[in-house]
Structure formats: structure tokens, C-alpha cells
Structure 1
Amino acid sequence: MRKCLLFMLSKSHRDLQERKARRPSVTRAVDLCAAPGSWSQVLSQKIGSQGSGQVVAVDLQAMAPLPGVVQIQGDITQLSTAKEIIQHFEGCPADLVVCDGAPDVTGLHDVDEYMQAQLLLAALNIATHVLKPGGCFVAKIFRGRDVTLLYSQLRVFFSNVLCAKPRSSRNSSIEAFAVCQGYDPPEGFVPDLTRPLLDHSYDFNQLDGPTRIIVPFVTCGDLSAYDSDRSYPLDLEDGSEYKYTPPTQPPISPPYQEACTLKKKGQLAKEIRPQDCPISKVDTLSQPLANPQCHSLLGSEMEDNEMNYSS
């Protein structure tokens, strides 16, 4: 019995050591489109425990300071940004590049998917400048009609590509994440931020053979975690009373700040009379109105006049 127990313990220890050996060591990570900084914070906590971990966060917007994170306020489509990232790593390439960025959605799914694909390709383009061979790349995607073409482009640069859907992502959302492992660019490839990766002459219906890629779809995440499609009561399990706490770090200069200020002053839904709009009758008939509020008011007034004439 004792020999059996010792054998089981030694086997478990050996399996643990093998898993650690297979686990890629990440000491340098880049977070693109990082604001407000949640991914950078988690990366800093994960690789900072290794002692020499470094995280560089890049975004056009300002971010609150985070321990262990170097922030670059810059454009990911500029070569100067890629050079600054490498400079912070003292000339060494990154082990991991992540991108959780997304455009401001319009509600038009085709437009949103196209903009997200362009953003991902911009992130991939700068990743080819800063990522080491064998490195990993993780980015948000919208699974639309042409997503298979995007997978094909990623497979050109990585040996393994899969589509991951975390539990924290709503089932009704087309959001997912492309997890790319084993960075291996084509032979003779020279990274160039001035040349886009996306060739608009491609037609997926004409692709065949190795160019037509089917990427595996996997669900990931802790199944015991909160489900984003469910509503949970505010009552805590230990019986303590729920108390609201403000966010740890509110947004810095958000685009909706002006609208919130006007709403607090009661000026957001202020009614504008037609006579206050400096628009002539000629402009009304020949040109689109610049003020949508005036347009709606004048439009309703014209409809009332038409009803009066018809009666």
C-alpha cells in the first residue's frame, strides 16, 4: 500500500513537472488597445510573480497608472510605437501580444465586423514587429460572414489558430477571441506597417486546398464563474448586506462626459423651436438639414400642414 502511494505521488509530481515544462514562459507582454487597463492589470499580476515580468500597454487614450505596467499613449499603426515597445524591452521581442480593442459599434453588423477585422489586422501588423518567433497572439474578433478569411490570414503567421468563446462573453454576442500560437512568419517576410495585410481582391468562395482554413471553436473559462447571460441577486451568500461601492478607477475623459454633464443640468433633452433654427425655406428643400432636432420638428410641422390641406 505504501509503495503504491509513493508511486502515485511520484507520478503526480512528474506530471506536474511535465506540464510546467510544456507551459510557455512569458516574461514580456504587450497589451494593444489597452484602456482602461483590465487586461494589463491581469497580465502584470500573472507574469509579475516571476520577478522579471514586463508589461507594455498601448492605447490612444490616457490610462490610470498600474503597478508593473509601462504605458505608451500612441497609435498602433505607427512604426514609432513599435520601436518604443522594443525600446522598453531593451531590444528583446515580446513573448505575448494581446488586443481586446473594438470599434464603436454602429448597430450595422456588416460595418462593425469590417471595422473590427481592420483593427485586428492593424494589431497583427504591429505584432509582426514586436513578437518573437514561437510567440502567442490573442485578439478579439467578431464572427461574421468573412471571418474564415481572417482565420486564413492568421494561419499564414501562426502554426496553431483557434477561436475561443469565454463564459464571460454573452451567448447572443458574436464576440470571440482568436488564440494564435507559434508565431512563424513566411520565409522572406519583412514586417512593414506602411503595407496593409488585407488584400481586398480575395474571394473566399475561390479559395481551396490549404488556403481554405477551418478553425476549431472552443469554449473556455471556469464553468463555476458568473454567467454573463444570467441575472444574479444582490444578496450575498454569507448573509451580509449588499453595499454599492464606486469603481476603483473611473474612465478618464470619456467621450460621453459632455452628455452626462448636460443631462445633470437638464439641458440634454431641451426642446428647440423651429424659429430658433437658422435655416431658410430654400435650404430646407434643396439641402439636408445639419441639425437633426430641427429636422424632426420641421418635419412634424410640415406633416401637420399637409393634413390640414388634405382635410
Structure 2
Amino acid sequence: MGKSSKDKRDIYYRRAKEQGWRARSAFKLLQLNEEFQLFKDIKRVVDLCAAPGSWSQVLSRELFENQNHSDAKIVAVDLQPMTPIEGVTTIQADITHPKTLQTILDIFGGEPADFVCSDGAPDVTGLHDLDEYIQAQLILSALQLTTCILKPGGSFVAKIFRGRDIDLLYSQLSYLFERVICAKPRSSRGTSLEAFIVCMGYKPRPGWNPKLELNKSTEEFFEDSNIGKSYNLEHFELPDPEERKIAKFIACGDLQDGDSDATYTLDNDSKIGALDPVQMPTAPPYKKALEMKRRGDLVRR
């Protein structure tokens, strides 16, 4: 969360800092929960691609403070290091690695998860087709782990980039869940292709035993699941044409709330000036530049 002029006047950016959230994305999960009651009766949760940890913060506050589940267990996984969050077990690991799955199961005492979520996204290139493809692969990677650890009837939420072929992903998910909905929280900028796929009522495929293996592509992982092929739509074969479904699109969040695409005028009161970050980055890509600046090595010549 930077301090650019636009950020200062972004209502969700400022609210996140004022309320102690590490990122404005916390409001996206909160608004999704308002619409779908995702946190009801959950005690074991996995937050994938979790850094910097705003969704884990939301889950921690909800389960331990609001619902008073003292026995709840939350696991946050990311390749990047994360500053600890109360009640959350953080794992710096690859979500596609079998050891990561086993570590989570050990933390849960061998019990399955009630809820799995992922707010992960690649560094966008600006090439929309490429960005959508990479994001779809990230979702499928998260889905691999989800099918290995989520209990029947559980829920899965992940960030998506809506594009030309997104209905293929909707259809594949509809084989694995009772309800599949595309949701756009009000805190998500309308000018962005970002949305969230909300999948409820996990239903394992009959006769399919999902198992994470090293050097196994997502195509190979889902090969025997009969949820449809993950390449070109022209070759999309369905076991039963009646099974295919199209996800509903729902906007969630109070319409009277702030507009995520708008910037709001700040008066001259110094109290509402720039706010410090809730949590400083643990391993920013510009860390070396900051160290050089402190030493005086970055001198303009």
C-alpha cells in the first residue's frame, strides 16, 4: 500500500490503514462474506497466496474474536515471507508441492479444511490474454490443493480475471461444487477485470482420488476427474452436456458505501494526511535500493 496522491484519496485504502488492515483487499473478503456467509460454521481454513496477510487478518478476527472459536486453525501459505498474525500459522512454501499439503494436514490433525481461499495474482504484464491465462493456471494450482484438503460441502474462493474464455473455468468448477458464482465486491475497482469466483458445496468427483505429485501439470492432475479439458474451447469435450453450467454474476457490497473507482477530496487538516503502512513489507523487491539509499550510494550525479 503506497502513498501516491490517488492512494491517499482512495476511501478503501484509507479505511484499511485506519482499521488496521494490511491491505485494502481485506474489504473484498468482508463484502464477499456479507453476501455469501462464507464464515459460518468454519474452524479450519487455508489462505493461499496470503501475503501480505489482509485476508488472514480478516479470518483471524472473525473466527477468534467474532465467533469465539478458540479451537479454530488458520493456515496462511505464500512463497513470500509474512509477518506473524495472531492465531494464524504461516508457511513459506509452494502451494503445488506435496510437502505443503502434508504440512497443512499435520496442522489440522489430519482433518479436512472447511474453507479455502486465494487472493493471489501474477504480476500483470498488460497483455490481457497472457495475464488471464497465467491467472487461470494459478487458480487451477490452488484448486489442486483444494481438492486434496477440502471437506465435502466446503467452500472455495479465488480471484479471477474475467476474459473471453472464462466460461471454461466456470464449467470446470461446476463439476466440483454445487454452486459457482462470479462476484464483484464494491471495494474491487470497476475498471479492473478482477472478480472472485465463489464456489460452495464441494462435491468430490466419483472414483477420482486427487493426489499432488511433483512435476505433474494441472492438465495431468485433473486428467481423470472428467471436468473437461483445460485447453482450447474448440476441443472442449464434456462427459454429459447437461452438466455444463454458466456462473451467475453478482455485485456485492452496500451500494451506499464508497466508490472504489473514485477519489475523495481531503481537506487541509493535518490529521488526515499520509498514513503510515499497517505492516511494512517483509521482503520488498526494492529492499536493496533502500539500503543503498541509507548508505548514500544513490546520489544523483
Matched, 1:219 2:235: no
Of residues 134, 156, 164, the one that matches 2:183 is 164
Contact 1:262 1:268 in 2 (8 A): no
Matched, 1:245 2:264: no
Pairing 1:127-146 to 2, within 5 Å after superposition: 127-146=146-165
With over 3 angstroms needed to count, the CA separation of the structure-2 counterparts of 1:269 and 1:30, relative to structure 1, is farther
Identity %: 51
Q: Match for residue 92 of structure 2?
A: 73
Q: Secondary structure at the match of 2:105?
A: helix
Contact 2:38 2:155 in 1 (8 A): no
Q: Match for residue 178 of structure 1?
A: 197
Q: Match for residue 223 of structure 2?
A: none
Pairing 1:141-290 to 2, within 5 Å after superposition: 141-194=160-213, 195-198=216-219, 199-203=229-233, 209-210=241-242, 212-235=244-267, 241-259=271-289, 267=298
Show structure 1 runs of 4+ deviating over 6 A. Answer: none
With over 3 angstroms needed to count, the CA separation of the structure-2 counterparts of 1:23 and 1:121, relative to structure 1, is closer
Following superposition, the deviation at residue 132 of structure 1 comes to 0.5
1: CA distance, partners of 2:78 / 2:277? 21
Contact 2:174 2:244 in 1 (8 A): no
Matched to 1:95, the amino acid is D
Matched, 1:100 2:119: yes
1: CA distance, partners of 2:290 / 2:126? 22
Matched to 1:242, the amino acid is I
Q: Match for residue 110 of structure 2?
A: 91
Following superposition, the deviation at residue 43 of structure 1 comes to 0.3
Q: What is the total number of aligned residue pairs between the two structures?
A: 248
1: CA distance, partners of 2:297 / 2:260? 33
Contact 2:48 2:116 in 1 (8 A): yes
Following superposition, the deviation at residue 268 of structure 1 comes to 9.2
After superposition, the C-alpha distances for 1:194-223 in whole angstroms (9 at most, x for unaligned) are: 344444444257567335421100001232
Pairing 1:40-79 to 2, within 5 Å after superposition: 40-48=56-64, 49-79=68-98
Matched to 1:39, the amino acid is W
Larger radius of gyration: 1
2: CA distance, partners of 1:179 / 1:268? 50
Unaligned runs of 5+ in 2: 1-36, 220-228
Q: Secondary structure at the match of 2:272?
A: coil
Bigger relative CO (Cα 8 Å, ≥ 6 apart): 2
After superposition, the C-alpha distances for 1:227-264 in whole angstroms (9 at most, x for unaligned) are: 2100112249xx88424331121111111333555678
Q: Over aligned residues, Cα RMSD in angstroms?
A: 2.6
Matched to 1:228, the amino acid is S
Following superposition, the deviation at residue 47 of structure 1 comes to 1.1
Q: Secondary structure at the match of 1:138?
A: strand
Matched, 1:120 2:139: yes
Contact 1:259 1:268 in 2 (8 A): no
Matched to 2:274, the amino acid is Y
Q: Secondary structure at the match of 2:136?
A: helix
With over 3 angstroms needed to count, the CA separation of the structure-2 counterparts of 1:141 and 1:204, relative to structure 1, is farther
Contact 2:175 2:243 in 1 (8 A): no
Contact 1:149 1:204 in 2 (8 A): no
Following superposition, the deviation at residue 24 of structure 1 comes to 3.8
Q: Give TM-score scaled by structure 2 length.
A: 0.75
1: CA distance, partners of 2:299 / 2:137? 34
Contact 1:95 1:131 in 2 (8 A): yes
Contact 1:128 1:191 in 2 (8 A): yes
Q: Secondary structure at the match of 2:117?
A: strand
Q: Secondary structure at the match of 1:63?
A: coil
With over 3 angstroms needed to count, the CA separation of the structure-2 counterparts of 1:251 and 1:22, relative to structure 1, is closer
2: CA distance, partners of 1:26 / 1:134? 11
* 159-168 or 201-210: bigger deviation: 201-210
